Amino acid sequence: MTEKSEILQQVRVIDPVSGIDRVMDVSIVDDRITAMVDRLEEIPSGVKVTDGRGLILGPGLVDLYSRTGEPGFEERETLESLQRSAVAGGYTRLTLLPETVPPLDTPAGLAQVRHRARTTVSPKPHCRFWGGLTCNLDGKQMAELADLVAAGAVGFTDGRPIDDGVLMRRVLEYAQIWDKPIALYPKRSDLVGDGVAREGVDSLRLGLPGIPVMAETSALAALLECVAETNTPVHVMRVSTARGVEAIRSAKEKLLPVTASTPWTHLLWDTTDLENYDPNLRLDPPLGTPLDRAALVDGVKSGTIDAIAIDHTPYTYEEKTVAFSEAPAGVIGLQYSFAMLWHRLVASGDWTPMDLWQATSTRPARCLQQPPPGVAVGERAELLLFDPQNPRTVEASEIYSRSRNTPLLGVFLGGQIVRTWCSIDSLEPL
């Protein structure tokens, strides 16, 4: 045995890929799982042994889309601080949006950022990058998609709405050549106006300009018509309304090639939580009503909404500490989202642990056309160890991100990530 050998004794193993949910002894040698048995009879001397009783070992988490400040806004976030946050939160794979400065809409820019991501901290998550669909991400002219594929783009998205329906259809037709994921955000910018909260009784009561549901659903209907016409697979980003969930369900029943995700925030908060005008709850899309949140929770659990996205969006203290209506939209979330989702959805009994791991690991990987992380003999150790019985309160001093724009400061969490195995240095590019 080598010095990198370790054994987790009597740990609960959860693996959505194989359907395993049982207590086992797990041996890891040189970042590869070498044994999974009910109990190891012999343990060689010199091997690190961890008492896993009460702990949960599961596959590493996969994020569909988040933002880094590097290049352009390093005061918000660097690739290094982003990766540290991800590892602390159990994320072994990140897929970053092209919304940098300059944007990742050219091969040179994409190659440079990919190289930088490979030369930062260790251990680190496996970073891949979306290439921009349009030049400057402005939704007016298609980017050089072939060159971006050659430079290593995982797929294409602007991370922003594309209002030009003709361009959207052409993009979907042209992008079929490469069989890469395409992620689109359905939002009618003209219907948003100066709105900052989901239109309804709460926005009226709180005096916040409202954004109608149809800002999402009308754009989503147009997008689904394009998918039906072209038969190009599309990932729908940031579904945030009950009617949006129903539209995705209907599209899947018609066998349209769509997958969908919702941000983690929209499963935990809704418009009733805006009472204190916390600028950290100013989001894009805005938080839904309680009915929207319930539909999203049910939609993710049932698989209608395939995945939970983190959509990590860092801002400095000065940028975010303003009035609610003036605050930029977005929050950070990689470090504590899994623990918070567990606390609110699993510990409450609404979801099983398997439900949560499917939505944060297995199905996001499949949306990206990647093999999902698994817990099996012979697999690399792309894992997280979670302690559901170790409560903690989120403190600003413990956040790895350079930004602190989160509604979780001072919030009690019922569990925490103990360790993350990335095994990334020896992985071939996904």
146 and 201 in a single domain? The answer is: yes
CATH code of the domain in which 209 resides: 3.20.20.140
Residue 175, domain member (yes or no): yes
106 and 153 in a single domain? The answer is: yes
231 and 158 in a single domain? The answer is: yes
358 and 249 in a single domain? The answer is: yes
pLDDT tens sequence across 18-51: 999 999 999 999 999 999 999 998 888 889 999 9
Question: Number of H helices and number of E strands within the chain?
Answer: 13, 19
In the prediction, which pLDDT does 430 show? 39
Residue 427, domain member (yes or no): no
Residue among 126, 69, 130, 119 at smallest CA distance from 96? 130
Query: pLDDT-based confidence at 428, cuts 50/70/90?
Result: very low
Q: Among 119-123, 189-193, 339-343, 415-419, which stretch is predicted with the lowest mean pLDDT?
A: 119-123
Residue 374, domain member (yes or no): no
Phi, psi (5° rounding) for residue 22? -160, 160
Asked about 158 being catalytic, the answer comes back as no
Q: Residues of 384-414 as b/e, b for ≥16 C-beta within 10 angstroms?
A: bbbbbeeeeebeeeebbbbbbbbbbeeeebb
- What is the residue-wise DSSP string for 342-376? IIIIITTTSS-HHHHHIIIIIHHHHHTT-PPP---
Give yes or no for a contact between 93 and 60, defined as CB atoms under 8 angstroms apart. Answer: yes
CATH code of the domain in which 37 resides: 2.30.40.10
Give yes or no for a contact between 158 and 137, defined as CB atoms under 8 angstroms apart. Answer: yes
The partner residues of 261 in beta bridges, in order of sequence, read: 307
109 SS3 class: helix
348 and 401 in a single domain? The answer is: no
70 and 212 in a single domain? The answer is: yes
152 and 238 in a single domain? The answer is: yes
83 and 34 in a single domain? The answer is: no
pLDDT tens sequence across 358-376: 999 999 999 999 999 999 9
Q: Of residues 105, 158, 270, 311, which has the active-site annotation? A: 311
What percent of the chain clears pLDDT 90, i.e. is strictly above it? Answer: 92
Query: pLDDT-based confidence at 227, cuts 50/70/90?
Result: very high
Q: Residues of 118-136 as b/e, b for ≥16 C-beta within 10 angstroms?
A: eebeebbbbbbbbbbbbbe
In the prediction, which pLDDT does 388 show? 97
Residue 274 sits in which domain range? 60-367
270 and 404 in a single domain? The answer is: no
204 SS3 class: helix
Query: pLDDT-based confidence at 3, cuts 50/70/90?
Result: low
Residue 430, domain member (yes or no): no
Structural domain total, the chain:
2
pLDDT at 136 over 70: yes
The C-alpha atoms of residue 329 and residue 303 are separated, in whole angstroms, by 27
In the prediction, which pLDDT does 105 show? 96
Residue 139, domain member (yes or no): yes
21 and 130 in a single domain? The answer is: no
In the prediction, which pLDDT does 351 show? 98
**Mean pLDDT of all residues in 307-317:** 98
13 and 113 in a single domain? The answer is: no
Query: pLDDT-based confidence at 2, cuts 50/70/90?
Result: very low
In the prediction, which pLDDT does 425 show? 43
Residue 428, domain member (yes or no): no
In the prediction, which pLDDT does 119 show? 83
The C-alpha atoms of residue 74 and residue 91 are separated, in whole angstroms, by 21
